[in-house]
Structure 1
């Protein structure tokens, strides 16, 4: 199923939402499969579940973010050596110059992974590095049809997608989405495209994602057993 708003004539305002088989086709267009994200997130959850009450509260969340990021890189690098590890300005991504795509792992809100009346927001405000990436997305979108558009030379020059994650009712809701604007609250709430992934069962792991750091560019999520 693919849901698209009426054509407004304004590229910036349109949002394409794909789910089910349409989402799988769209991922394939980007050189991706849902199973890549399944494997990456599973490794993150396995690592986070090992955090104990003796650890600092943010440790489990840091493990979830770090191991999901590492897991996605491991999967992608094993399949296509053109995937690379992006760390420009400390912003941790997986990126592919040929596909002009960078992917960052980010916490989302209760609207993550579902098609409803409201689009999702990032769970916490984002920092200046994210703001620059979003600005780049806008420029890329406006120039998409230009024959003079030059390919990116590093991860910062790629279109940056967010792998949004949100726990709800014992499941982890997920989507791969393209951010287009930061609101006055510093959160992303406007998207050019959303690719909805199937929820994953958490099997007793409880996520508490209110421990993001102040600059909003490194999501940290407390994880513990229910």
Structure 2
């Protein structure tokens, strides 16, 4: 996969450190969560790009990832519930409904898993941008009172209610001790404009 446990933990700790610096009353209440998401993803990108093994920044359709075209892998940062990072009574769920961009990628994960041993995946990947022609794994993060729990997991279903409903693989990572941690808050997918010009009122 090309992504070590140390790189994951370092990225999460970087995000949490940045979060701690904006967790004061002058900032909007959701800003620590936004900072946690943005700084964790930025740190993960730095960790992977600096090893010079073909990792790139993915932003097609305003969906933020780090990806490797050669490995056909992409990683996104998301928030999970209290079952994240542990072997609990059920698999974790993400803390917010997913939009169309996530559903496209999760559906593609399921297709790749089903067809991996039947056809050449390059035939499926050719029409897509390189940061979408891959399996998209989630770095799932959950913050509790004194730890940040995390896992790298591959989703293969978004249910009708908009929540991820099934994972084909989960890789649990040892938690990071901290205090005052918050869950990452991603930009809303409904706000994506796919890079198209916005309609504005004439002057």
TM over 0.5: yes
Equivalent residue in structure 2 for 1:205, among 173, 180, 184: 180
- Displacement of 1:143 in angstroms is 1.4
- Partner residue of 2:141? 165
Is 2:158 the partner of 1:187? no
- For residue 175 of structure 1, what is the aligned residue in structure 2? 151
Residue of structure 1 in register with 2:72 after alignment: 100
Structure 1: gaps spanning 5 or more residues: 1-29, 219-226
Contact 2:144 2:181 in 1 (8 A): no
Give TM-score scaled by structure 2 length: 0.86
Aligned to 2:88: 116
4+ residue segments displaced more than 3 Å: 211-218
CA 1:114–1:75: 2 relative to 1, 3 Å: same
The Cα RMSD (Å) is 2.0
CA-CA distance at 1:217 after TM superposition:
8.7
Q: Which residue of 1 aligns with 2:5?
A: 34
Does the 8 Å CA contact 1:91/1:217 hold for their aligned counterparts?
A: no
Give the TM-score, by structure 1 length: 0.77
The count of corresponding residues between Structure 1 and Structure 2 is 187
CA–CA distance in 2 between the matches of 1:145 and 1:88? 28
Q: Is the 8 A contact 1:94 1:102 kept in 2?
A: yes
1:44 aligns with 2:44: no
Matched-pair contact (CA < 8 Å) for 2:145–2:180: no
**What is the rounded CA distance, in whole Å, between the counterparts of 2:105 and 2:154 in structure 1?**
11
Deviations for 1:21-41, whole angstroms, at most 9, x for unmatched residues? xxxxxxxxx112100011111
Distance in 2 (alpha carbons) for counterparts of 1:121 and 1:62 = 19
The answer to whether structure 1 residue 84 and structure 2 residue 56 are counterparts is yes
Q: Distance in 1 between matches of 2:191 and 2:115?
A: 26
